[in-house]
Chains A and B, each alone.
Chain A
Amino acid sequence: MTLTIGLTHYLVVAALLFSLGLVCVLGRRNAIGLLMGIEMILNSANINLVAFAHYIVHDITGQVFALFVIVLAAAEAAIAMAIVLSIFRSFKQIDVTTTVELKE
C-alpha cells in the first residue's frame, strides 16, 4: 500500500461508482432512482476518462471527452425526465416493474 494516489485508486473508485450505479439501475423500482443510477454510471465513466487522461495519455483529450459526457448526460437526463413525467401521467406511478406495456 502506497500513500500516493495513483491511477489505480481512481479506477477503483470509478468501478465502485459504476457498480453502485448498476445496482441502482437494476435494483431500483423508482424510475428517477434508475435515472440517478444512470448518472452515476456516466460519472464513473467520466472519472475513468479523466484519470486515464491524466496518468496515461498526459493530455487533455480525456477531460474534454468528460465535458462532452457531462453535457450529454444532462441532456439525456432532461429527456429521461420528460419521459418519466409522461409515464407518470399515463400510469400515475413510475414503478418500472409494473409499467411493462412494451413486452408484447
Chain B
Amino acid sequence: MQQNLTVQWLWLIPALPLFGALINGLFGLKIYRRYGEQPVHSIAIFFPAASFIITLIYFIQLIQQPAEFRQLLCYLFDWIRIGSFSIPMSFWFDPLSAAMTLMITFVGTLIHIYSIGYMHKDPGYWRFFAYMNLFMFSMLTLVLGDNFLLMFVGWEGVGLCSYLLISFWFQDLNNARAGMKAFITNRVGDFGFTLGILALLWALGGNWLDSQYTVLYPERLTLVFREIEKFAPLLVDQKIWGIAVPTLVCLLFFWGATAKSAQIPLYVWLPDAMAGPTPVSALIHAATMVTAGVYMIARLNFLFALSATAMTVVAVVGALTALFAATIGLFQFDIKKVLAYSTISQLGFMFLGVGVGAFGVGIFHLLTHAFFKACLFLGAGSVIHAMHHAYQQMNNHHNDPQDMRNMGGLGKQMPITRWTYLAACAAIAGFPLMSGFFSKDEILWKTFSNSNTLISGKILWVMAATAAILTAFYMFRSYFMTFSGTFRGGQATEVHLHESPATITWVLRILGVLSILGGIIGLPHLWHLPNLLEGWFEPVFESVSDLLNWHEYSLTAEWTLMILSIIIALTGFGFAYILFKDARSRIPVRFKGMFPGLYRLAFNKYYIDELYQSTLINGSIIFSKICGWVDTYIIDGLVNLVAFFGRVFSWLNGLHDTYVIDGAVNGLAYVSGKFGQSIRRIQTGRIQTYIYVLLGGGLFLILVRFIL
C-alpha cells in the first residue's frame, strides 16, 4: 500500500502567494504611490515563483522515490477536532497534485510576468496583483489539500478571486454584474458539492434505515481523500433514498464541478467572465480555476469508478457541452468570447476523458490545454492591447478592440504574437505532433473503446469528433480573421499597431513552445513510445484500474481512429483557410443569409441566459419580494394586530374604568348628594313647620302606642 513521507515545508507552496497577497493587499496602495509599479509586481512575482521553485524541489524528491512512496504529506495541525472526529490542516503531494501544482505555479508565474506589461499604468495595479496572488493561494490549496474541507477552502477561494478579478474594472457595472454572475453560479454548484460531502461522510460512518441513522463505523468518519479511498469500495451496496451512495455522491460532486468548470447547465458565467482583464481570463478561466472540476473528479476516481451512472452522466455532459459550446463559438466576433467557448468546449473534452474512465488522459488534456489555451488568451490579450493602444492614439472610443471584424493582417505588425497564436491554434485543433493532438486523440480513443459508460462510447466519440472538427474550424477562423489579410480598421490606425513588450512576448514564446512540445509527456503506446504521464499517474489510478473495462480493439482500429483525428484537424483547418484566409471568401456572409434562424440561435447562445434570467433569477427575486411582503404584512401584521387588539382592549378597559367603575363612584357621590339635597328640605327655617312635625310625630307615636 502507499506510504506517505512526511515533509515540513510543503505548506509554503500555497502560503507564499498568500503572503504576497497580504502585502500587496494591505500596503499595495502606499507602495504603489510611493515607489511605482516595480516593487508591487516584484513582490507579486517573487512569491509564486518561489512556490514554483519549492514545487520543483519536492517534485524532484518525489521522482527519486520508488512508486509506492511517491506521496509527501505535510501535516500542520488539527483544523477541526471534536472528540474523535477531526479534520487536519495538511497538504498532500502525490503524483496528481504534483502535476497540477507544477502547472499552476509555472503558468501562474508566467502570467504574472505577462501582467506587468498588460496592466501597465492601470490605477488598480497593486489590487490586481494582490488578487492574483490570492488566487494562486486558493488554487494551490485546492489541489494540495488532503481532505474535502481544505479543498473546499480553495474551491470557494478561487470563486471569490474570480469574482474580484472579473469585476476588477468595476466602474462599469456590467463587469460587476459579470463577477456576481460568476460567484452566484459557482455557489449553486457549491450547494451540490456541500451536499456531496455531507452524504459521503455519513454514508461512510453508518447508514439510514427508515429515516433513522445509526453510526456503525465511527472510525470511518473521515474526509481525508486517501482514507476515503480505503473505505470507498464498502459503499457500493449502500443506498440513500434508493440511490446507490457512490452514484448519489458523485453526481452531487459533479454538480459542483459543472459550476466550477463551466459545463452544462452552469456554464453561463464563463463567457461573461471575459469582462475581466485578459491575464485573468488566461489564468483563471483557462488554465486553472475551471480545471478544478476535472481535477476533483480525477482525485475522486475511486468513487466515480464505482458508479457507472455517474460516469455516464459526466461523459455525456462533457460531450454535449463540447459540442454545444463549439457551435456557439462558430459565430462569435469577440475574440475573447471565441476563446471562452472554446474553453468550455475543451473542458467538455476533459470531462469526457475522466467520464469514460481515462482519468490520467483527462488530466493530460488539462495540462496541454493549460499551455495552449493560456497562450491563446495571452496572445489575444496582446492583440487587444495593441488594438486598444492604437484606438487611444486615434481617439477612437467606440470601436471594440476585441472585435475580430475590426482586425486583420495583424501578423505583419505582431509577428511573435502571430506565430505563437498559430502554434497554439494548431495545438488546440489537434494538428499531428502538437501537444493537443496527443491528449485529444487519446481522449477520443479512450472514449471510443470504453465500456464503462452506459451509453456506447461510439456515440460519444461521434459527438466529440464533431466538436473537434468545429474546434479546429473556429479556432483557425479566429486566427485568420485576426492575423491574415489586410487590416480592416484603416491605414491610419494600422500605423499605431505594434508588437507587445518583452514581458508579454517572452511569455508567449515559452507557452508557444510548450504548446508544441508539451505532448512529449504523453506519447501514445501506439507509436511504441513511453507514455511518461501514464506511468507517473499510475500510483494514483491503479486502485480503480480493475474496475474499469475497455474494449479490445485491433491495432488497425486504433490507427484508423488516430488518422481520423488528424483528418478532423486538417479538415477544420482547411475549411477555415478557405473561408477566412485574407477574408476573401464571401461564403461566411452568405451562410448567415441562408440560415438566419439557426445563425441567430447559435449567435445568441441559444438564449439560455435569457431563459435562466426569466425563470430562476426573476423567480428568486419575486419570491424574495413575496417573503418580504409576508414578513412585513402577515407575520409582523399579526404582531401588530395583537398589539392593536391589546390597545383596543385596554381602551375598552379604560372606558370601563372611566364610566363603569368610576361611574359607580361618581354615581354614589351623586346619589348621596341628591339624597342630602332632598333631606335638606327639612330645614325650612320655619318654626311652624318644625312644630307641625313635632305634632305629627307625637300623634304618630301615640297612635302607634294605641295600636300595638
Binding site for B on A (CB under 8 A): 22, 25-27, 34, 96-97, 99-104
A-B contact pairs, 5 of them (CB 8 A): A26-B692, A34-B687, A100-B686, A101-B685, A104-B685
Are A96 and B695 neighbours in the complex by a CB distance under 8 Å? no
Q: Which residues of B contact A27 (CB under 8 A)?
A: 688
Interface status of B691 (Cβ within 8 A of chain A)? yes
Interface status of B64 (Cβ within 8 A of chain A)? no
Given A26-B688, A96-B687, A100-B685, 13 other A-B contacts at CB below 8 A? A22-B695, A25-B691, A26-B691, A27-B688, A34-B687, A34-B688, A97-B688, A100-B684, A103-B684, A103-B685, A103-B686, A104-B680, A104-B683
The distance from the CB of A55 to the nearest CB of chain B, in whole angstroms, is: 23
Q: Which residues of B contact A100 (CB under 8 A)?
A: 684-686
**Cα of A27 to Cα of B687 in the assembled complex, Å:** 11
On whether A102 and B695 interact (CB within 8 A), knowing A25-B688, A26-B688, the answer reads no
**Cα of A104 to Cα of B692 in the assembled complex, Å:** 19
Q: Which residues of A contact B695 (CB under 8 A)?
A: 22
The distance from the CB of B682 to the nearest CB of chain A, in whole angstroms, is: 9
Q: B565-592 CB contact bits vs A (8 Å, 1 = yes)?
A: 0000000000000000000000000000
Are B685 and A102 neighbours in the complex by a CB distance under 8 Å? yes
The distance from the CB of B594 to the nearest CB of chain A, in whole angstroms, is: 122
Q: B665-708 CB contact bits vs A (8 Å, 1 = yes)?
A: 00000000000000010011111100110010000000000000
**Cα of A100 to Cα of B682 in the assembled complex, Å:** 12
**Cα of A57 to Cα of B680 in the assembled complex, Å:** 46
Among B684, B686, B692, the one with the most A-chain Cβ atoms within 10 Å of its Cβ is B686
**Cα of A100 to Cα of B681 in the assembled complex, Å:** 12
Are B691 and A103 neighbours in the complex by a CB distance under 8 Å? no
The distance from the CB of B154 to the nearest CB of chain A, in whole angstroms, is: 104
Q: Which residues of A contact B686 (CB under 8 A)?
A: 96-97, 100, 103
The distance from the CB of A80 to the nearest CB of chain B, in whole angstroms, is: 11
Are A96 and B683 neighbours in the complex by a CB distance under 8 Å? no
Q: Which residues of A contact B691 (CB under 8 A)?
A: 22, 25-26
Total interface residues in chain B, CB < 8 Å = 10
Nearest-neighbor residue (CB-CB) of A26 within chain B: B688
Binding site for A on B (CB under 8 A): 680, 683-688, 691-692, 695
The distance from the CB of A102 to the nearest CB of chain B, in whole angstroms, is: 4
**Cα of A103 to Cα of B687 in the assembled complex, Å:** 10
The distance from the CB of B684 to the nearest CB of chain A, in whole angstroms, is: 5
**Cα of A100 to Cα of B684 in the assembled complex, Å:** 7
The distance from the CB of A57 to the nearest CB of chain B, in whole angstroms, is: 23
Q: Which residues of A contact B685 (CB under 8 A)?
A: 99-104
The distance from the CB of A82 to the nearest CB of chain B, in whole angstroms, is: 16
**Cα of A62 to Cα of B695 in the assembled complex, Å:** 25
Nearest-neighbor residue (CB-CB) of B687 within chain A: A96
Q: Which residues of B contact A104 (CB under 8 A)?
A: 680, 683, 685
Among A22, A97, A103, the one with the most B-chain Cβ atoms within 10 Å of its Cβ is A103
The distance from the CB of B1 to the nearest CB of chain A, in whole angstroms, is: 122
Nearest-neighbor residue (CB-CB) of A101 within chain B: B685
Q: Which residues of B contact A34 (CB under 8 A)?
A: 687-688
The distance from the CB of A3 to the nearest CB of chain B, in whole angstroms, is: 32
**Cα of A9 to Cα of B701 in the assembled complex, Å:** 26
**Cα of A26 to Cα of B696 in the assembled complex, Å:** 12
Q: Which residues of A contact B687 (CB under 8 A)?
A: 25, 34, 96
Q: Which residues of A contact B688 (CB under 8 A)?
A: 25-27, 34, 96-97
The distance from the CB of A17 to the nearest CB of chain B, in whole angstroms, is: 16
Q: Which residues of B contact A25 (CB under 8 A)?
A: 687-688, 691
**Cα of A102 to Cα of B695 in the assembled complex, Å:** 21
The distance from the CB of A25 to the nearest CB of chain B, in whole angstroms, is: 6
**Cα of A99 to Cα of B684 in the assembled complex, Å:** 10
**Cα of A102 to Cα of B686 in the assembled complex, Å:** 8
**Cα of A102 to Cα of B684 in the assembled complex, Å:** 7
The distance from the CB of B699 to the nearest CB of chain A, in whole angstroms, is: 12
The distance from the CB of B73 to the nearest CB of chain A, in whole angstroms, is: 114
Q: Which residues of B contact A102 (CB under 8 A)?
A: 683, 685
Q: Which residues of B contact A22 (CB under 8 A)?
A: 691, 695
Nearest-neighbor residue (CB-CB) of B683 within chain A: A103
**Cα of A34 to Cα of B691 in the assembled complex, Å:** 12
The distance from the CB of B434 to the nearest CB of chain A, in whole angstroms, is: 130
**Cα of A63 to Cα of B407 in the assembled complex, Å:** 161
10 interchain residue pairs of minimum CB distance = A103-B685, A100-B685, A102-B685, A103-B683, A103-B684, A26-B688, A100-B686, A25-B691, A26-B691, A101-B685
**Cα of A5 to Cα of B701 in the assembled complex, Å:** 32
**Cα of A27 to Cα of B686 in the assembled complex, Å:** 12
**Cα of A66 to Cα of B519 in the assembled complex, Å:** 163
Nearest-neighbor residue (CB-CB) of B695 within chain A: A22
**Cα of A96 to Cα of B695 in the assembled complex, Å:** 18
**Cα of A25 to Cα of B692 in the assembled complex, Å:** 10
**Cα of A10 to Cα of B153 in the assembled complex, Å:** 137
The distance from the CB of A37 to the nearest CB of chain B, in whole angstroms, is: 10
Nearest-neighbor residue (CB-CB) of A104 within chain B: B683
**Cα of A13 to Cα of B630 in the assembled complex, Å:** 106
Nearest-neighbor residue (CB-CB) of A100 within chain B: B685
Q: Which residues of A contact B680 (CB under 8 A)?
A: 104
Q: Which residues of A contact B692 (CB under 8 A)?
A: 26
The distance from the CB of B679 to the nearest CB of chain A, in whole angstroms, is: 12
Nearest-neighbor residue (CB-CB) of A102 within chain B: B685
The distance from the CB of A30 to the nearest CB of chain B, in whole angstroms, is: 12
The distance from the CB of A38 to the nearest CB of chain B, in whole angstroms, is: 10
**Cα of A27 to Cα of B684 in the assembled complex, Å:** 16
Among B684, B688, B692, B695, the one with the most A-chain Cβ atoms within 10 Å of its Cβ is B688
The distance from the CB of A91 to the nearest CB of chain B, in whole angstroms, is: 12
Among B680, B684, B687, the one with the most A-chain Cβ atoms within 10 Å of its Cβ is B687
**Cα of A96 to Cα of B687 in the assembled complex, Å:** 8
**Cα of A2 to Cα of B692 in the assembled complex, Å:** 36
The distance from the CB of A64 to the nearest CB of chain B, in whole angstroms, is: 26
Nearest-neighbor residue (CB-CB) of A28 within chain B: B688
The distance from the CB of B685 to the nearest CB of chain A, in whole angstroms, is: 3
Q: Which residues of B contact A97 (CB under 8 A)?
A: 686, 688
The distance from the CB of A97 to the nearest CB of chain B, in whole angstroms, is: 6
Nearest-neighbor residue (CB-CB) of A29 within chain B: B688
Q: Which residues of A contact B683 (CB under 8 A)?
A: 102-104
The distance from the CB of B582 to the nearest CB of chain A, in whole angstroms, is: 131
**Cα of A98 to Cα of B622 in the assembled complex, Å:** 93
Q: Which residues of B contact A99 (CB under 8 A)?
A: 685
Q: Which residues of B contact A26 (CB under 8 A)?
A: 688, 691-692
The distance from the CB of A35 to the nearest CB of chain B, in whole angstroms, is: 11
**Cα of A97 to Cα of B688 in the assembled complex, Å:** 8
**Cα of A103 to Cα of B681 in the assembled complex, Å:** 8
The distance from the CB of A81 to the nearest CB of chain B, in whole angstroms, is: 15
The distance from the CB of B360 to the nearest CB of chain A, in whole angstroms, is: 123
The distance from the CB of B419 to the nearest CB of chain A, in whole angstroms, is: 130
**Cα of A34 to Cα of B687 in the assembled complex, Å:** 10
**Cα of A25 to Cα of B687 in the assembled complex, Å:** 9
